[in-house]
Structure 1
Amino acid sequence: MCRIYGHFEAQVTAHEMRTVSAVQRHGGPDAQAQAAGRGWALGINRLAVMDLAGGRQPYRLGEHITVVFNGEIYNHAELRRRLVARGHRIDDDCDGSVLPALYAEYGADFTDHLDGMYAIAVMDLRHEPTLVLATDDVGMKPLYYQWDAYRRQLHFSSELPALLAFRGVRAAVWEPGLDEYLSTKTPFGEQTMFDGIQVLPPATTARVTRSGGLRMHRRADPARPEPDTAPAAAADRVLALLREETHRLIHADVPVAAITSGGLDSSLVSALAAEAAENLHSFNIAYTGRWPGDERDFAREVAERNGTHHHQVEIDPETFPALLPDVVWHLGQPNADPITLSTHALFGAVRDAGFTVALTGDAADELFGGYDRIRKAAGTPDGEDWITGYVDALAAVPAALRTELYSAEYRHYVAARGSASERIAGELAASEHGRMETLTRFEVGRRLPAYHLRRVDHLSMSASVEVRLPFCQPAVQRYARSLPSSLKIAPDRGKDVLYRAADGLLPESVLNRPKQPFTLPITAMIAPGAALHGFARDVLSPTALRRYGLVEPARVDRLFAEQTARPSERSALALWALMVHQLWLDQFCAASGPKADEAADPFGDGAAA
């Protein structure tokens, strides 16, 4: 697991490359290295997980193929045997060491042979200099880039703050960003909150040349297996696949732990990991004091049943105002889920306890229909509107309240452009697939990479911890996506087949408890007298809000009054989302926002946002 970065045909100094490396060194503290030639450079920050003495990047094959790589290749031993049989010499047992020979054999199709999570950069000098960038099928390892089509120049990096360390990359606000963010909790798709900066989509291979520019190829979805139609058979198959993948992912040359929230998904992964790992350690996070939704007792029951060495991490909400700016910085763009704070603190505790790898249960809800919004949308009778409620459930701030919060200028801009929610609703309505397939495609293809996987990647790697995700493994994902809706969603619960698979492996208290989001008790924590309430009031002061001209200060004041008089999730989440956005603007974009004493219209002709 590493951090990678580089450029193609840009004017980048060696000092710039060192600066970019330093900005994301937390994600690769064990080694730093670069390779460069005329018109290109690649860099690597290594977090050593496999073959600690080997695996020196950049990897090379002769003078013409250079590779840097972030992630894990789980089938590297099989690939190594195949490549050695074809005459290649591979000097160590590190997973990424197979990549140059694999690329030499198969060219840009080399990703067809990979089982793992990855973002890869290949510099191929055999003919016209060509930079190849590739991401895994689910988007577990993000790769951000800026492409200048006029100059034929590209910069890329694993993290947004590092990408912005290149002199040629400007931190300018993408004007639709606030509406996109409040509508979906973080921007979906390729566009980031920065104008001109994109993220390479999942399952994508990009080729960059001087003559052809940037060309994207989205790889086809692999064929799905025939599903089982009987609930018991489907549950048995899900459990067998998940067990096999979890047992594979537990192997590393560094200590491995499991995250146990106390819910179904992470508890099942922890139980299966404990089967294959002696003396497995598990981690749960909770908050000092008494708060709604505390799950520590469920996590402890799971740990006791599985015989893990359990670590109860506890953080004090009084420290949240000091933690939040770091969280926003590591994410690089706003994410409105309050669990980001806990995630950041949890992985710091995992690393402090001596662990470099952690297994989590992320992606089960998307694959198996676990969210209430999916269950409600799937259960809406034919002919009735299921889209409006589903789209509004994605939002950090409901549509009606968003419109009230926007400044007059920004409200006019959004109305003229069309809102993010309207665009998503149009995409869902235009789908030619059945309803459950449409929902799963959207959840797995659009929301999961942007909202969950980038958050998990950035906040775990901020503490030099690699996260592995059994539910994202190709075999599990393809089988889950083959199952009919009736095996996923029962009248009273989602993930029905997964509950059946877990029966007998988890305590009854975990299997029978109501579904609960893994997040902060934000309504209570942004109540008058709580540390976050005062911090939010300072961050969202009228003076601060006027600096950018996006949000109406008087309406934010009314939101605080509502939260004081009648604390609710609606007002608390809206304040949280606005606070995160404001912190992001102040950290990354202050130079590009309109000043409070200027009369410029940030959305008019010729004005910069």
Structure 2
Amino acid sequence: MCGICGAVGERRGKGGDAVAAMLDAMTHRGPDSRGAAVADGVALGACRLAVIGPEAASQPLRSACTDLTLVVNGEIYNHVELRRELEARGHRFTTGGDCEVILHLYEDEGLDALKRLRGMFALALLDPAERRLLLARDRMGEKPLYLAETPDGWCFASEMTALLRSGLVPLEIDHGSLREYLHYQYVPEPATLLAGVRQLPAGSWLDLDLDTGKSRTGVYWDLEAAPALPGDPAAVLEAGLRDIGRIVVRSDAPIAVALSGGLDSTIVASLAAANAPGVTAVGVGYAGRPAIDERRHATRAAAALGVRLTHVELSPADVAEDFDALVQALDHPVADLAGPAYHAVAKAAHDEGCRVLLLGHGGDELFWGYRWVHTARAALAGHDPARVTRGLLYRHMEVVRDSARLLPGLCSPDWPHRLPDDDGSGPGSGPDTGTTLPVRLTRLLADTYLRSNGVAQTERLCMAHSVETRLPLLDHRFVDLVTGLRKHARDDALPAKDRLRAAAAPLIPGFVAGKPKTPFYTPTRDWHAALFAAHGDRVADGWLRSAGVLSPAGAVRAARGRTGVGSGTSLSYKALMFETWYAALRAAHRPPGGGAPRGGPAENGSPKNATTDHGQKTG
């Protein structure tokens, strides 16, 4: 696990200086070592958190035979099997780390090497012989990779804040992305809140020609492309769970697992306990032990699995006091009020001496865990699956509908608060993959809420504490099994998570398998009240008001926290998180050309300067 960065085409040593500045901004991602390589107008850097092969696997990695240079953020779970195969072909390894297999696979197989990797990763590989720089990202987007074009070339990094510290990237808000954030509570990838900065899409690569500066992109995995798979779903999925459990725990550092006592986290805890004896479980509880407190469920599950459990308790005062650190850790706003709980669990794992944290993300998105998705599926039953888009899906999500209803009363009359109309009448999203409506809905959820909300926030919050996240349920082979079975026999009319529950029954305690699904709740109202008592004034006279996004009256109302808080995220909370993030980002920003950050909304993304709009339809 690392933070990686790079600059391409910069002159007079600017690339090396930019990489040094970006590495300085990511020391939490790699506290154990850092390194850089500069050649042929390309500067690459990495800071490393040692998890596998801690003694001799510092980056950048170099191939003595082919002059390849590689930086990687992530873990290759099947590195043992790949190393054995490559050694049999005659390759010689110089480190005990997991990522060296990428160099040797690329030497033999080129771009097809990406298809052989099982794990989570974002990488940059310099091939001087071919005069190319290859960037790639894992299939489910577990590891981030932000990109920006500069006047002289490109730069990239594992964190957006690092890009802003490079001295190569301007700070300008993208108002189309801001509109999506205020509706969804996150910005769906690949867009970001910054104009000119985007993420490399999950499951894809970018090949940059170092001579011409031109780039080409490609996709090496598609969730919808798995072939139909006959068989008993429970047996097939159980085997898939056991398979990923065997390799996801590979580590030379201590491992923790987040445990709430629900189905998904207990499945992951059972896999960890079976394959990594001595694993520690961590969980969160709430002051006053309200009815939503899950400590009793987690304690019972931990006892049944034979794992040691530690809990951290959060009070509203804790949440308010920790808010600035939370926003800084997130790097890019995700206004999910579950964030403080994930942040506390990450810190607890770190305090227990663990460098790896396993979480149960993905179960709800892959197995019909959300009631509103069932509603959407019924409403979209007559649509061509290839033309079902994000807009058609999310019009059935209550929180998004509430945002659309409330925004007109908060925004300035001339600010375009509405999302573009999306009725699914446009062209399909790409080549025919033989998709079905259930598979298409799963893909849309994976591409939006799962990746840009759930995966993004846990990855950033854990890395802020130098803890690596691993998400076993998002292993691409397991996802392919889910998709293939779903293509062969639909499961969307079954009870929520029915197939996952049946597959996990032999692995987990019976009282968990038989427990009805309950959402992961936090004390939203109490936390919300404490946050706005402490920080609400940031919204009253913040950037959103001065830039003409919120009206003066709307800003005052938002600052008081009075924008429809319930079990979901309020518009007030979205505004508060944005203002806190933007202020910190401006303070950290090194503008191109040097000097202090420029002041004033008109210079930093006001409507008159913002021309980029990411509000387009996606399929």
Report if TM-score (shorter chain) is over 0.5: yes
Where does residue 594 of structure 2 map in the other structure?
A: none
Contact 1:225 1:479 in 2 (8 A): no
Contact 1:184 1:394 in 2 (8 A): no
Contact 1:360 1:468 in 2 (8 A): yes
Where does residue 102 of structure 1 map in the other structure?
A: 105
Contact 1:258 1:270 in 2 (8 A): yes
SS in structure 2 of the partner of residue 57 of structure 1: coil
CA distance in 2, matches of 1:508, 1:584: 44
CA distance in 2, matches of 1:251, 1:266: 19
Moved more, 193-202 or 439-448: 439-448
User: How far has the Cα of 1:428 moved from its partner?
Assistant: 10
1:379-528 map, 5 Å: 379-380=378-379, 382-383=381-382, 390-393=394-397, 395=399, 397-411=402-416, 414=417, 419=419, 422-423=421-422, 433-484=435-486, 488-490=491-493, 493-503=495-505, 505-507=507-509, 509-527=511-529
CA distance in 2, matches of 1:56, 1:453: 26
Where does residue 157 of structure 2 map in the other structure?
A: 157
Contact 1:593 1:608 in 2 (8 A): no
Q: Identity of aligned pairs, percent? A: 30
Q: Which one-letter code corresponds to 1:393 in the other structure?
A: M
1:112-127 map, 5 Å: 112-127=115-130
User: How far has the Cα of 1:6 moved from its partner?
Assistant: 0.9
In the superposition, relative to structure 1, how do residues 605 and 136 fare at CA in structure 2: closer, same or farther (>3 Å)?
A: closer
CA distance in 2, matches of 1:453, 1:271: 21
User: How far has the Cα of 1:504 moved from its partner?
Assistant: 5.3
CA distance in 2, matches of 1:86, 1:283: 43
SS in structure 1 of the partner of residue 99 of structure 2: helix
User: How far has the Cα of 1:165 moved from its partner?
Assistant: 1.0
User: How far has the Cα of 1:98 moved from its partner?
Assistant: 1.8
User: How far has the Cα of 1:551 moved from its partner?
Assistant: 1.2
User: How far has the Cα of 1:348 moved from its partner?
Assistant: 1.1
User: How far has the Cα of 1:391 moved from its partner?
Assistant: 2.7
CA distance in 2, matches of 1:28, 1:607: 36
Contact 2:319 2:527 in 1 (8 A): no
Contact 1:173 1:592 in 2 (8 A): no
User: How far has the Cα of 1:384 moved from its partner?
Assistant: 9.5
Contact 1:64 1:124 in 2 (8 A): yes
1:289-308 map, 5 Å: 289-308=288-307
In the superposition, relative to structure 1, how do residues 577 and 532 fare at CA in structure 2: closer, same or farther (>3 Å)?
A: same
In the superposition, relative to structure 1, how do residues 552 and 258 fare at CA in structure 2: closer, same or farther (>3 Å)?
A: same
User: How far has the Cα of 1:47 moved from its partner?
Assistant: 0.7
Where does residue 354 of structure 1 map in the other structure?
A: 353
CA distance in 1, matches of 2:424, 2:519: 24
Unaligned runs of 5+ in 1: none
In the superposition, relative to structure 1, how do residues 293 and 604 fare at CA in structure 2: closer, same or farther (>3 Å)?
A: same
Over residues 528-579 of structure 1, what are the superposed CA-to-partner deviations in whole Å (9 max), with x where a residue is unaligned?
Answer: xxx2230242222246643332112423544677849x96346x62221221
User: How far has the Cα of 1:403 moved from its partner?
Assistant: 2.5
In the superposition, relative to structure 1, how do residues 608 and 94 fare at CA in structure 2: closer, same or farther (>3 Å)?
A: closer
Unaligned runs of 5+ in 2: 588-596, 614-619
Where does residue 213 of structure 1 map in the other structure?
A: 214
CA distance in 1, matches of 2:429, 2:205: 27
User: How far has the Cα of 1:303 moved from its partner?
Assistant: 0.4
Moved more, 28-37 or 234-243: 234-243
Where does residue 570 of structure 2 map in the other structure?
A: 573
- Given candidates 580, 583, 587, the residue that maps to 1:586 is 583
Over residues 352-385 of structure 1, what are the superposed CA-to-partner deviations in whole Å (9 max), with x where a residue is unaligned?
Answer: 1111111111112121121112222223484599
User: How far has the Cα of 1:501 moved from its partner?
Assistant: 2.1
**Which has the larger helix fraction?**
1
Where does residue 535 of structure 1 map in the other structure?
A: 534
Contact 2:393 2:441 in 1 (8 A): no
SS in structure 2 of the partner of residue 119 of structure 1: strand
Where does residue 39 of structure 1 map in the other structure?
A: 41
CA distance in 1, matches of 2:512, 2:426: 37
Over residues 473-492 of structure 1, what are the superposed CA-to-partner deviations in whole Å (9 max), with x where a residue is unaligned?
Answer: 1221001112338764445x
Where does residue 179 of structure 1 map in the other structure?
A: 179
Q: Which one-letter code corresponds to 1:146 in the other structure?
A: A
User: How far has the Cα of 1:212 moved from its partner?
Assistant: 4.9
Q: Which one-letter code corresponds to 1:313 in the other structure?
A: V
Higher relative contact order (CA 8 A, sep 6+): 2
Contact 1:183 1:392 in 2 (8 A): no
Q: Which one-letter code corresponds to 1:101 in the other structure?
A: H
